[in-house]
Structure 1
């Protein structure tokens, strides 16, 4: 019974974390406060899932729950837009091209970070989480093998979808440092 309560708590915390991330993107909000609160709730959700199911299964269930609840929240808030007239669409594209002139390097930085930094961070975090799992070597390898592509995709989507380039960069660098600590802890223990 306590496992079910912990899983329900993890799902509720995931939903609250995603809601706070949604509020962080609202205009005139203090995004860093909402982002930190969302990260704290996500950590609690991950902890609850790990307590309920163990390190390997709990991590995977927490990541999948976070993704599916996020997808549900995004789809439920979607609005159907009326078709634009062709004249307005051409005018909007022309304005966007003028505003983005000279910022091509940002696209390259964003793309390289989405591929390289996201891959390095996902591999380090997968290795760190597989290292702290209390299971057999084959189970830890399988957990890392399943986690890394999911983490890589999540980090790449975060990098490509965020308007501000520094938020995902700092977030992934912080995650990389934390994952390095997990790897060092598992190697030294």
Structure 2
């Protein structure tokens, strides 16, 4: 039990240290400019859905489909034969947020909404096949 808590606490502290280093690097490189009044600008994004249905599809793709894909990919990576069961579960738990963040970024930044949907669907199918093979063995 102590070893498992050590792995969890150690990985949490490692992620915290990387996050703090990244925050410090960003904070040190902030450019400070004198304040001056500007005209109000209207923010425009590069990707503008033409139809309301396309916007809903992009939002659903970025929320629900990415969550499902990340959970299944994390479960499949936890099934890899890479050592004891505690290590596999830890690897699956560490992969999950990284995959989820990457898929959300990909689905929101791609100008064509079909590519991320097809990519995540194929990743779900391949990971599901891998999980089925692992359960059958």
TM-score tier by shorter-chain length is 0.5 to 0.7
For structure 1, the residue ranges without an aligned partner over 5 or more in a row are: 1-84
Query: Judging changes above 3 Å, is the alpha-carbon distance between structure 1 residues 101 and 159 closer, same or farther for their aligned structure 2 residues?
Result: closer
46, 69, 73: which one aligns with 1:121: 69
Query: Judging changes above 3 Å, is the alpha-carbon distance between structure 1 residues 187 and 163 closer, same or farther for their aligned structure 2 residues?
Result: same
Deviation track 1:98-145 (CA, whole Å, cap 9, x = no partner) reads xx6861222221111111111111111111111023311111111111
69, 78, 102: which one aligns with 1:130: 78
Other structure's SS at 1:153 match:
helix
> Which position in structure 1 is the counterpart of 2:56?
108
Residue correspondences, number: 98
Q: Which structure has the bigger radius of gyration?
A: 2
RMSD: 2.4
List structure 1 runs of 4+ shifted beyond 3 angstroms: none
Taking structure 1 as the reference length, the TM-score comes to: 0.46
> Which position in structure 2 is the counterpart of 1:164?
112
For structure 2, the residue ranges without an aligned partner over 5 or more in a row are: 1-37
The answer to whether the 8 A contact 1:122-1:149 is kept is yes
Answer 1 or 2: which has greater helix percent.
Answer: 1
The answer to whether the 8 A contact 1:126-1:144 is kept is yes
> 1:158 deviation in Å?
0.5
The answer to whether the 8 A contact 1:129-1:182 is kept is no
Other structure's SS at 1:134 match:
coil
- C-alpha distance in structure 2 between counterparts of 1:147 and 1:183, whole Å: 16
